[in-house]
Structure 1
Amino acid sequence: MENFTPLSSLMGGVLIGLSAAILWVADGRIAGISGILGGLLRPKPGETGWRLAFLAGLLAAPLLYVAVQGAPEVSVEAGTARLVLAGLLVGFGTRLGSGCTSGHGVCGLARLSPRSFAATLVFMAVAALTVYASRHLA
């Protein structure tokens, strides 16, 4: 709680929700990042442009922040092997759950999807257990 930032967290959440709502209302698409990125691997005709634009916005936003505010101090205490393993587990979980936290947690819950509600509960439970295990059992 030493780095509690309610205002910037609220603003970030509003921007995420707004971008998901705009994509859904304007184009009928779900703003699930794993699905957007995965759709570029085997693109259908007319699908590449909006996917690239959305991903470009995801990359441009932090670069714009750094240009305006400067780079924040980042400290990662995990080693490379642990980070690679974590990334692989997240990718596996995304495939297993048929979507990621943005697709299920933001868009699916907004659509009152029971499957997304179950997936989000699993995401949050596993996250809580992971934090507990890494801070108290490791």
Structure 2
Amino acid sequence: MDWTASLQGLVGGVLIGLSAVWLMGSLGRIAGISGIVGGLITQRPKGDSAWRLAFLAGLVSGPLVVMAVGGGLGNVANVPGAVIGEPAGGVPLMLLAGLLVGLGTGLGSGCTSGHGVCGLARLAPRSMAATAMFLVAAIVTVYVVRHLLGGGV
């Protein structure tokens, strides 16, 4: 077993939880990324963008800080020397997937961070249902792509 990867996952999970608690405790806001980004786009309420920009800057800068101190991002591409690698299905498929995720967060009134991290912690029934649907959709998608379409991703 690779204890380093397990410890990195544990530390990452703790940091995600702490950031969600901090945001809820300090501003009374849910750390749902789709809602944070959506609020920046729609500007509701007015003058509410500073904390949203700060949160997103922290989200993006975190991995950059880890890389700067020599932690790297790991080899998620299974290619020696690669960090992330090419999109498995190509750029057009990734754009389509991003569009579908955006539509899904609108239909589901939130995303995995809002429902899965914050909503489950608050024992919200709506978030439990949404998270269960996220998992079912992910399982079906992986099954279809790997077994029915023959993708080796």
Settle same-fold status: TM greater than 0.5.
yes
Give, in whole Å, the separation in 1 of the partners of 2:7 and 2:148.
33
Residue 60 of structure 1: how far off its partner (Å): 0.7
Tell me whether 44-53 or 94-103 shows the greater mean CA deviation.
44-53
The letter of the residue matching 2:126 is R
Are the equivalent residues in 1 in contact too, given 2:63–2:73 (CA < 8 A)? no
Aligned residues: 137
1:86 aligns with 2:97: yes
Give, in whole Å, the separation in 1 of the partners of 2:84 and 2:61.
19
Tell me whether 98-107 or 39-48 shows the greater mean CA deviation.
39-48
Which structure's relative contact order is higher, taking Cα pairs within 8 Å and 6+ residues apart?
Answer: 1
1:70 aligns with 2:81: no
Tell me whether 114-123 or 44-53 shows the greater mean CA deviation.
44-53
Higher fraction of helix: 1
Structure 2 partner of 1:8: 8
The letter of the residue matching 1:40 is L
Give, in whole Å, the separation in 2 of the partners of 1:129 and 1:59.
30
Query: TM-score normalized by structure 2?
Result: 0.83
From 112, 121, 127, give the equivalent of 1:110.
121
Structure 2 spans left out of the alignment, 5+ residues? 75-82
Same amino acid, percent of matched pairs: 59
Moved segments of 4+, more than 3 Å:
none
Query: TM-score normalized by structure 1?
Result: 0.92
Are the equivalent residues in 1 in contact too, given 2:116–2:128 (CA < 8 A)? yes
CA RMSD of aligned residues (A): 1.8
